[in-house]
Amino acid sequence: MGASGSEPLEPYDQPAYERFCRALVTAGFEPVPGTLRRDWRGPIRPSLSPLTGANRMTVRFRDGWPHVSVVLLVPELLAEHVTHGGQICLWADDDPAQQSASDIENLWQRADEWAAAARAGFGPTDAALDAFAHFDSHATPIAELDLPGISLTFMHGSMGALYARQHRLTLQLTATHQRDTELYGHWYAVDHVNPLPRTLNDIRNALTNAQRRNLDRGLRRRDPHEHGKGGHDLLVLTWPRHHAREALVVTLSGAPPNVSAAAHQVTATDTASLTARAGPDAEALHPKRVLLIGAGSVGGHLALAAATTGIGHLSIADNDTLLQVNVVRHVCGSKYVGWQKTDAVKHLIGEHAPATTVDTLAAVPLAPTALTAAIIGYDLVIDATGQAPVTAALAGTCAGVAIPLITVALYHAGVLLRVRRQAPTDTPLTARPGDPSYLQLPPDDPTTRDPGFLELGCLAPINNAPPTSAATAAALTAIIAVDLLTGRLDYPDETVQVLRPLTTAPFDRVGLVTP
């Protein structure tokens, strides 16, 4: 988020800004010369006095005011949720409630609440693993760290070797030496850290005697010109915090005895952290097995969406090869040209959702007995072929063995997409044509129908559905699949989405159309 800039503030609400500044004057604040009236200094807020020896504080305007609140800067403030420089964190950067601080009374009220929490102890809603933000100095690469991969226990006083390499804008830490390791250091685990360390010396003071001796030895052997050679280039301090585990990653610079430290923002790389981003259904979806038939423009996107949402096992069937012309609509890019589509999608899923197992099939047989044998054991079959014969074969076969089926297809050059679900309690697909409770899609108008386009090597015109239609179809199908697999069944058994209006009602307006 932008801090004080080199240009005067351009508030989004000039009258409110001027009222705010007037209120600052009334409260005894004056603009700091040379800051273009972005910084105002004045008397310390009484509620903050017990927390600092300073008697003055700064109110700083940031670009985006009043949508972005001012920040308060109080020197010598020792508390949590105070960054380097004494900036009090009154709101998270993305908290819309900060806009209320366009009224200065709301700002003071929030500051008083913060002060009260700082004295009495912050609550669970204030929990944040933000130790790096309190450190006096920061370094740019984001440190990627797999804590469970380093140690399972982290007993107080434990420690171990650590290696790191820089990959573009990240610093990747591991407990084992890799061929391209650039930095060497140690991790140290303690039971408790208070206050949050702001300097290398603070870190040292938090260690046990044995850990401190190890650190001191590592610092003495430091050679700033020879990384990874035995002296410490980095260190990690880890301790329990907010019912989780905090990690402060710092890299070192300079030569002994003048070694300095800078903290890195830290992000986790363990499976649990990845799974946490899969959404609330990930745990319920992990045991599920899904057969996806068709790995084309819709199927490819669908496979990736299904895997990243947490489905534990995917079997993907398709006998097609990914070609250069496919990459415009396909989820796999140029580096997969020449691969079987199924292998390409499997590889891509491995990069995004490593917890999902994938196997690939060249095709599914269409003969009834063989098809039945192929689908047994799955919790759901998804047809993304867009081929009516395959859909028809699957509809009957799945109904025969009570295995749910979801089928998706695009119509009218991607203007319409339809997702049909056939769960054991739904009307079978074969019974829907002619059933007035189901929507009959309008036929193509022969006079205006887009014939597609001819292309080398193709036996028929190419469907001109745009990539966005394929991606939308895939996303909607994945949502309906999750809805079925979790047992919610909030969606109807047939959903049509109109992406551009046709002339025939009810498809003459955009949006979802359900029977």
Residues that bind another protein (CB under 8 A): 1, 12-16, 18-19, 21-22, 25-26, 28, 30-34, 37, 41, 43, 56, 66-67, 81, 83, 89-100, 102, 110, 114, 117, 122-123, 125-128, 130, 133, 267
What angle in degrees, to the nearest 10, is found between the helix axes of 341-352 and 297-308?
30
Which tokens go with 500?
Answer: 């551009």
**Least distance between another protein and beta carbon 19 (Å):** 6
Between 83 and 181, CB nearer to another protein: 83
List, in order, residues 6 or more apart from 90 with CB less than 8 Å away: 69, 71, 72, 98, 101, 107, 110, 111, 114
Between 67 and 212, CB nearer to another protein: 67
CB count in 10 Å sphere of residue 9: 16
Between 67 and 289, CB nearer to another protein: 67
Between 125 and 153, CB nearer to another protein: 125
Query: Look-up: residue for tokens 């609440």?
Result: 113
Q: Residue 381: name the closest of 315, 331, 330, 320 by CA.
A: 315
Taking a C-beta distance cutoff of 8 angstroms, is the pair 448, 415 a contact? no
**Least distance between another protein and beta carbon 148 (Å):** 19
Q: For residue 30, give the H/E element and its range.
A: strand 30-31
**Least distance between another protein and beta carbon 428 (Å):** 42
Between 35 and 342, CB nearer to another protein: 35
List, in order, residues 6 or more apart from 505 with CB less than 8 Å away: none
**Least distance between another protein and beta carbon 123 (Å):** 7
Between 128 and 479, CB nearer to another protein: 128
Between 142 and 259, CB nearer to another protein: 142
**Least distance between another protein and beta carbon 137 (Å):** 16
Between 114 and 438, CB nearer to another protein: 114
Between 99 and 372, CB nearer to another protein: 99
**Least distance between another protein and beta carbon 6 (Å):** 17
What angle in degrees, to the nearest 10, is found between the helix axes of 388-400 and 368-375?
70
Give the pairing type, strands 266-268 and 289-293.
Answer: unpaired
DSSP 3-state assignment of 105?
A: helix
- The single-letter DSSP state of residue 461 is P
Q: Can you say whether residue 178 is alpha, beta or left, with left for phi > 0 and alpha for psi between -120 and 50 degrees?
A: beta
Residue 2 has φ and ψ, to the nearest 5°, of -70, 135
Q: Residue 420: name the closest of 455, 383, 388 by CA.
A: 383
**Least distance between another protein and beta carbon 29 (Å):** 9
Between 93 and 490, CB nearer to another protein: 93
Q: What is the largest CA-CA distance in the chain?
A: 86
**Least distance between another protein and beta carbon 12 (Å):** 4
Between 143 and 332, CB nearer to another protein: 143
**Least distance between another protein and beta carbon 282 (Å):** 17
User: What DSSP string describes 305-318?
Assistant: HHHHTT-SEEEEE-
**Least distance between another protein and beta carbon 39 (Å):** 10
Q: Is the peptide bond before 66 cis (omega within 30 degrees of 0)?
A: yes
Between 26 and 425, CB nearer to another protein: 26
**Least distance between another protein and beta carbon 474 (Å):** 22
Between 103 and 281, CB nearer to another protein: 103
User: What DSSP string describes 170-235?
Assistant: EEEEESS--TT--EEEEEEE-S---S---SHHHHHHHS-HHHHHHHHHHHHT--TTSTTSSS-SEE
Amino acid at 411: Y
Taking a C-beta distance cutoff of 8 angstroms, is the pair 102, 20 a contact? yes
**Least distance between another protein and beta carbon 132 (Å):** 9
CA distance 23 to 104: 7
**Least distance between another protein and beta carbon 17 (Å):** 8
Which tokens go with 135?
Answer: 């450190």
CA distance 144 to 153: 19
